[in-house]
Structure 1
Amino acid sequence: MNDIKRIKHLIILLSILAGLIFWILDALIDRLMFYDKPFLEILSGNANEMAFRLLTCLFFLGFGLFAARTFCKQKKLEIELRDEITQYKITEDALRSSEDKYRSLVESTNDSIYLVDKDLRYLYINKNHITRMGFKGEEYLGRSYNEFHLPEEIKWFTKNVNEIFSTGHSVQFEHKSFRDGRYFFQTLSPVKDSDGKIMAVTVISKDINDLKEMEHKLHALSNTDELTGLLNRRGFFSMSGQPLKLANRKKTGVFLLFVDLDGLKSINDNFGHTAGDSALIEISLLLKKSFRDSDVIARIGGDEFVVFPVETAKENISTIIDRFQERIDRHNEKTTLAYKLSASVGVAYYDPEKPSSLDELLLQADSNMYEQKSHDLKF
């Protein structure tokens, strides 16, 4: 800016000098014409000449001022334009760098990331999702989500995208893929323009299948008896709620069987705890063979087992128990072990017209089982 000011002042100075030079040259011309007059008299001249020369000097001065102002404006505009271009390039470089970093981040992540518009057309998909979907090249761009997914998936995805366009809020949830049954944690977020209008939806899908499998395994472990592989007490209460609700809905009575392995303490004392564990495993296998796969069979205590729900008429429950006892007898006939298996069975009936809790059923069946230990089954 200091250089511009100096040039401005130089232009004004030159215009003043130009005016003075014109004045002197005009006077010199008159000297040649009127050589007999003194030069100072010619330099000042008469009133008309004086006015003309002053006006001419003012013209040069005005022209100089105009030229200086125009030059300054032009240079200022050039500087501002250059600064704007420089700033634009800086911003453009920064934006490009930011985009490159973002794209690098998106492409290097293990998550599936894609962008769809309101019509579910793909606007962008990262490499990880391309690989998972089996896309080739960029054949997916501009094509609809609907072309690559099952109807159930399309219905679910359309509902969520429409909700985001309607509310403008992000949503997160666990999702089990209809395509391959894998579990994902998905985040769907709106993409807005400078006016705040939603233009698209970004989907970030994190594969949590291994985590869910571990969760299922931990859940199974927490509900499973380690020795027999049957449900434990926690598992029994967790799994028996639904059959109880079904019995209420169908207005159908069902039985709960309470089975106690007789003489477990004696087996442990006489043959060791390994033999006792084997006895528990054998009785568990016999229970599995005697009842349906859909029945809840559990070991709820050291030598205590339950089966629920046993669906049969009241007059047939004794037959079912007898068949189980016969299976135990056949096992004892074939075994080469030094001890024999024996089990006492107690029964409780669940009447949907007179509902009772699982705890109440267990107490009733347990009481009947102890009664059966010394007498025949009474029901």
Structure 2
Amino acid sequence: MDRYLTEQRKASIGNAIKSLYQLIVLVEDETYICHVADCNKELDNLKISSVNDYYSLYKTLQKATYFEDRDSLALLSNIDALHDALMKQVYISCECRIRHTDLKYYWSRITICNSSIEDSPIGHEYLILIEDIHTQKDALLAEYNEMAGTIASLKEEYNKLFIENMTDAQTGCYNRKGLKYFEAIALKDSVENNKNIFVCVLDLNGLKYLNDTYGHGAGDTAIATVSGALKKAAPNGSSIIRTGGDEFLVFCPLDKDSTQPDSFGKILEEELTTYNKTHDNPFQVAASYGFVFLPPKEGMESLDEYIEVADEKMYKMKEETDPHKR
């Protein structure tokens, strides 16, 4: 095959290789003297032709490299480490942005390979090749950004559907699916951060009476009013669950010295009183509730025990305040 490689054809191969790279430099063994085989005009600002040795070349490249990318040149800073690396692999390369003659930065790939005989420890001359990859890099970054945008949109849509699946459409509170999800989060937070957990059970007073006497529209109004009052009265960070037609559950982890549980009932009742005074309904909206504010027990995996205690307190209040209790 070699007989076909005439000097002209060898020159053609050399020209083809030069067209692939912006810079080709040969570094001599032991002396580290640099010989510039080719340098495209866009890198004329580097003044490579005046560089005599490898370390000068490295400093020139580092100075021209965009500051955020300079760490990628770390291996090139130590010729011995570079030599050791090239004894283990055919070449090493890095990607960085290099300042061109127009003073703009363009993506390039710097490749260094050992030009000694393959598998031979004799001779450690190196070829330093700089390749323009700006167009490919821009295309990859555009593709990445498009993919990242798609992923972000899908994530946003997933989160939206996830929350919708756990939300009660009528009140905007969470449903029983949300109970299990947020219950685990609240317990984990209270245990890991040494907090108490606030658990409140609330029941709308006289919903059946309202529905039977004034129609289901009145019952819906009462449910919406109570859920709105709950959202204002509940401690910060609370999960509000509609557990049944007229039943709600509120829970959240709070610092042990928090005063929000003490003010919960006062705020709730003030909200309902204000509503009743400002709306000309033939009925009053009221609710019974009970709550506990305790540290989680060791090994506690659900709020069932605390819900039961709060439920008992709620029924005690209902016995005293709900004239339509069943």
* TM-score, structure 2 normalization: 0.50
Q: Which residue of 2 aligns with 1:143?
A: 66
1:200 partnered with 2:94: yes
1:341 partnered with 2:285: yes
Offset of 1:262 from its aligned partner?
A: 2.0
Residue aligned with 1:337, SS: coil
Offset of 1:307 from its aligned partner?
A: 1.9
1:370 partnered with 2:264: no
After TM superposition, the structure 1 stretch with the greater mean CA deviation from structure 2, 352-361 or 306-315, is 306-315
Residue 211 and residue 318 in structure 1: after superposition, are their counterparts in 2 closer, same or farther (change >3 A)? Answer: closer
Offset of 1:326 from its aligned partner?
A: 3.6
Amino acid at match of 1:372: M
Amino acid at match of 2:180: F
Offset of 1:252 from its aligned partner?
A: 4.2
The answer as to whether partners of 1:224 and 1:231 remain within 8 angstroms in 2 is yes
Offset of 1:353 from its aligned partner?
A: 5.5
Q: Which residue of 2 aligns with 1:299?
A: 242
Percent identity for Structure 1 against Structure 2: 28
Offset of 1:286 from its aligned partner?
A: 0.8
Q: Which residue of 1 aligns with 2:233?
A: 290
After TM superposition, the structure 1 stretch with the greater mean CA deviation from structure 2, 279-288 or 290-299, is 290-299
Residue aligned with 1:301, SS: coil
Residue aligned with 2:244, SS: coil
Residue 317 and residue 200 in structure 1: after superposition, are their counterparts in 2 closer, same or farther (change >3 A)? Answer: closer
Q: Distance in 1 between matches of 2:223 and 2:90?
A: 68
User: Which aligned pairs between 1:252-267 and structure 2 lie closer than 5 A?
Assistant: 252-267=195-210
Residue 349 and residue 294 in structure 1: after superposition, are their counterparts in 2 closer, same or farther (change >3 A)? Answer: closer
The answer as to whether partners of 1:255 and 1:348 remain within 8 angstroms in 2 is yes
Residue 79 and residue 146 in structure 1: after superposition, are their counterparts in 2 closer, same or farther (change >3 A)? Answer: closer
Residue 246 and residue 212 in structure 1: after superposition, are their counterparts in 2 closer, same or farther (change >3 A)? Answer: closer
Amino acid at match of 1:340: Q
Residue 300 and residue 230 in structure 1: after superposition, are their counterparts in 2 closer, same or farther (change >3 A)? Answer: same
Q: Distance in 1 between matches of 2:173 and 2:262?
A: 24
Amino acid at match of 1:223: M
Q: Which residue of 2 aligns with 1:234?
A: 177
Question: Highest Rg: 1 or 2?
Answer: 1
Residue aligned with 1:345, SS: strand
Q: Distance in 1 between matches of 2:286 and 2:157?
A: 38
Residues 20-60 of structure 1: per-residue CA shift (max 9 Å, x gap) = xxxxxxxxxxxxxxxxxxxxxxxxxxxxxxxxxxxxxxxxx
1:309 partnered with 2:246: no
Q: Distance in 1 between matches of 2:281 and 2:232?
A: 20
Where does the alignment leave 5 or more consecutive residues of structure 1 unmatched?
1-75, 97-140, 148-157, 163-194
1:350 partnered with 2:291: no
1:324 partnered with 2:247: no
Q: Relative CO higher for 1 or 2, CA cutoff 8 Å, sep ≥ 6?
A: 2
Q: Distance in 2 between matches of 1:355 and 1:313?
A: 23
User: Which aligned pairs between 1:1-379 and structure 2 lie closer than 5 A?
Assistant: 142-145=65-68, 197-200=91-94, 205-206=144-145, 207-208=148-149, 209-309=152-252, 311=254, 320-352=264-296, 356=300, 357-375=302-320
Offset of 1:300 from its aligned partner?
A: 2.7
The answer as to whether partners of 2:202 and 2:247 remain within 8 angstroms in 1 is yes
Amino acid at match of 1:330: T
Residues 205-263 of structure 1: per-residue CA shift (max 9 Å, x gap) = 24232222212212221232222222323334333434433433454433311111122
Q: Distance in 2 between matches of 1:78 and 1:262?
A: 102
Count of matched residue positions in the alignment of Structure 1 and Structure 2: 215
Residue 198 and residue 330 in structure 1: after superposition, are their counterparts in 2 closer, same or farther (change >3 A)? Answer: same
Residue 350 and residue 142 in structure 1: after superposition, are their counterparts in 2 closer, same or farther (change >3 A)? Answer: same
Amino acid at match of 2:170: L
Residue aligned with 2:240, SS: strand
Residue aligned with 1:216, SS: helix
Offset of 1:346 from its aligned partner?
A: 2.2
Where does the alignment leave 5 or more consecutive residues of structure 2 unmatched?
21-63, 74-88, 96-136, 322-326
Q: Distance in 2 between matches of 1:200 and 1:294?
A: 48
The answer as to whether partners of 2:168 and 2:242 remain within 8 angstroms in 1 is yes
The answer as to whether partners of 1:251 and 1:353 remain within 8 angstroms in 2 is no
Offset of 1:343 from its aligned partner?
A: 0.8
Q: Which residue of 2 aligns with 1:72?
A: none
Q: Distance in 2 between matches of 1:146 and 1:339?
A: 71
Q: Which residue of 1 aligns with 2:134?
A: none
The answer as to whether partners of 2:201 and 2:249 remain within 8 angstroms in 1 is yes
Q: Which residue of 1 aligns with 2:108?
A: none
> Which structure features the higher share of helix residues?
1
The answer as to whether partners of 1:345 and 1:372 remain within 8 angstroms in 2 is yes
